[in-house]
């Protein structure tokens, strides 16, 4: 598959996501039955930014690594979506897409630019129990091995997470944690994550980003998204 085709495949996934999107300031949405909600995350370290048009109206511009949108909603139904190369009028994909209603999704643009692929997750935004936060981990570093995510000198929270795998949202007692990402099954720390603050009642996605051995903006790291 050549690069334009790969980009088109990714564009369909991103377009599907942004087709669900209209501007909203609500970061803790409860989607009406007639709507869906979606968050889009640019997690491809070396891929370019994209612009999105829904029914010929610009809905998002310049979404670049490692940024994400908030949850955005639009009436369900079939919508016309165009994906343009960022900052241009060049349309790389156009589609009329049917949209389902009532669910919450996160769509990640993943892998390196030569192998762009979407990862679509359904988000359970059920409120945490008193004194708890919910956390999930998503492995999105293209060249990193499978990992364990553990509390430093403590329990393993998310074992054996391979690239493009995602845990469920997991209840954790609210507090501040020193975490570490280890090569799966070993004590080798690939990425320390000190001082991760988890507030009661909040829902978080933590994703590994960048390249193992990368530098600058593409260095191995972690990004935290608050889902509610």
Name the more confident of 78 and 216: 216
Tell me: cis bond preceding 104? Omega within 30 of 0 counts: no
CA dist 192 → 186, 187, 208 (Å):
14, 12, 11
138 with 121: CB under 8 angstroms? yes
118 with 110: CB under 8 angstroms? yes
Q: Which helix (H) or strand (E) holds 169?
A: none
Average pLDDT rounded to a whole number, residues 118-141: 95
The domains located in the chain, with CATH, are 3-122 (2.60.40), 132-226 (2.60.40)
Q: Is 106 exposed, middle or buried (0-12, 13-18, 19+ CB in 10 A)?
A: buried
pLDDT tens for 170-183 read: 999 999 999 999 99
pLDDT tens for 211-228 read: 999 999 999 999 999 999
47 with 109: CB under 8 angstroms? yes
CA distance 13 to 118: 6
């Amino acid at each position: 598959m050549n690069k334009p085709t790969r980009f088109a495949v990714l564009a369909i996934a991103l377009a599907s996501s942004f087709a669900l999107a209209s501007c909203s300031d609500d970061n803790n949405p409860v989607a009406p039955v007639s709507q869906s909600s979606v968050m889009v995350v640019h997690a491809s370290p070396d891929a370019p930014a994209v612009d999105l048009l829904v029914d010929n109206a610009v809905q998002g511009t310049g979404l670049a690594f490692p940024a994400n949108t908030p949850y955005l909603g639009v009436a369900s139904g079939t919508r016309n979506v165009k994906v343009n190369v960022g900052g241009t009028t060049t349309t790389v994909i156009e589609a009329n897409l049917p949209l389902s209603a009532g669910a919450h999704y996160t769509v990640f643009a993943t892998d390196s630019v030569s192998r762009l692929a979407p990862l679509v997750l359904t988000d359970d935004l059920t409120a945490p129990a008193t004194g708890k936060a919910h956390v999930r981990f998503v492995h999105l570093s293209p060249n990193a091995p499978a990992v364990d995510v553990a509390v430093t000198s403590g329990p393993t929270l998310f074992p054996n997470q391979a690239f493009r795998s995602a845990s469920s949202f997991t209840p954790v007692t609210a507090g501040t944690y020193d975490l570490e990402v280890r090569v799966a099954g070993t004590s080798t720390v690939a990425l320390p994550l000190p001082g991760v603050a988890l507030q009661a009642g909040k829902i978080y996605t933590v994703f590994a980003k960048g390249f193992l051995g990368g530098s600058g903006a593409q260095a191995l790291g972690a990004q935290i998204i608050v889902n509610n």
